Amino acid sequence: MAIEIERKFLVKNEQYKNDASEQVRITQGYLNSAPERTVRVRTKGNKGYLTVKGISSESGASRYEWEKEIPLDEARALLALCEPGMIDKTRYLVPQGKHTFEVDEFYGENQGLVVAEVELTNENESFDKPLWLAQEVTGQTRYYNSVLMRRPYASWE
C-alpha cells in the first residue's frame, strides 16, 4: 500500500519562481470527490494520470495514494466526465536541501492561491524551510484540490 506523507504551506512571495528547477501546467478534475476516496484525472504537460486517494490521517499529513500514467487522450476524455469544477494551476518544482517543494499557483476561481507541499518519509521528518513559506495548512481540508473545485478560493470570505 502506497502511503503519501506531505505537509502543506501557504506561500508569501514569488521567490519560489526564481528557485524553481522546472514548471508544468496541470489541469485536473474529479470523478469522485468523496473524502473517503477521491478519484482524480489529471493532465500534466503532455501526460495523463489517474489517481485514487484515501481519507487523510488524523494529522492530515498521511493518506493512501495510488497513481497510474494513462494516455493523454484518455485523460482528456475522462476530464469531460468529471464532477463540475476544474483545477487549473502551474506547478513549480523547487529543490530545498534534500527535499523538493511542489508549489502550485492556481488560476480561474482559485486565482491568488499559492500552496507549497513537501513529501516526507515520515510525519516527523525534519526539512529545510525556505523563506517564502508562510502558515502551515496541513490537514485543513479547504486547501485540498478536491474541495477547491467545489468551493473555490474566490468564494472564501
CB 123 within 8 A of CB 136: no
CB 59 within 8 A of CB 123: yes
If you ran DSSP here, which 8-state letter would residue 59 be given? T
Nearest to 127 by CA among 153, 97, 106: 97
SS3 for 100-137, per residue? EEEEEEECHHHCCCEEEEEECCCCCCCCCCCCCEEEEC
Judge whether 92 counts as a catalytic residue.
Answer: no
Residues in the chain: 157
Which member of 30, 92, 143, 144 is catalytic?
A: 30
Active site residues: 30
